[in-house]
Structure 1
Amino acid sequence: MVALVETFEYAHAQIAVRSDADDETIAKASGSLLIPALYARAGFAAGRQSDRIPLLVSELGSLEAAVLNLESYGGHEAALCVGYGMLDSLGKREAGTGNLRSVHGILAFADEAADPAQDIVV
């Protein structure tokens, strides 16, 4: 989660400096709109003593957009490596676990679905 939030924050900062787009557009392009939700989910997961933080299926595109926009807006090579590393990891994980599935709109990997109650997010 730390790498994800840092990638979104850095993408936001880079795009804001190099673009004349409005704040909402920059927040969408950088993925930074997701940060409050990610922190809320992390708190919820910690309260349930879980180390899993759900990521909505639609949010994977935000990570990809943030990384691609970082590349376009001159992001630092280290940040790009982290971003592409996360995308690569998700791609490998998908290939290694079989089909992904959506449980209540939340991306679930086959190897993480042992307890259906764990997949419920309120």
Structure 2
Amino acid sequence: MTEKTLAKTDPVSDLQDRMIKELETVIDPELRIDLINLGLVYGLSLTDGVATVTMTLTTMGCPITQVLTQMIETSLKRLPEVNDVAIDLVWEPAWSPARMSRFARVALGYHQ
């Protein structure tokens, strides 16, 4: 079996991919880049219908935390497996622009 075939038949990988796709629709209103490309999402899991998103923010005390939480909940609840969403907000490891994808760095004009 090839790697590609394995990934298609692995329900955990499929669900994780679909969760990531949904989170790619959550755009940070200030930076106008999605949470995945910003590197804010550190982990995803689903247990008994509850999707847990382990993530950080670009700064502590971010004024849009509640907005992002609502957007995350809305996006993940589109998946039939997700009944509820829990956000596990962490500050370690600290976020830095190095966590951004190449796309996000180019879009934001960050060259380093």
Q: TM-score, normalised by structure 1?
A: 0.30
Q: Which has the higher helix share?
A: 1
Q: Could you say which structure has the higher strand fraction?
A: 2
TM-score between both structures, scaled by the size of structure 2: 0.32
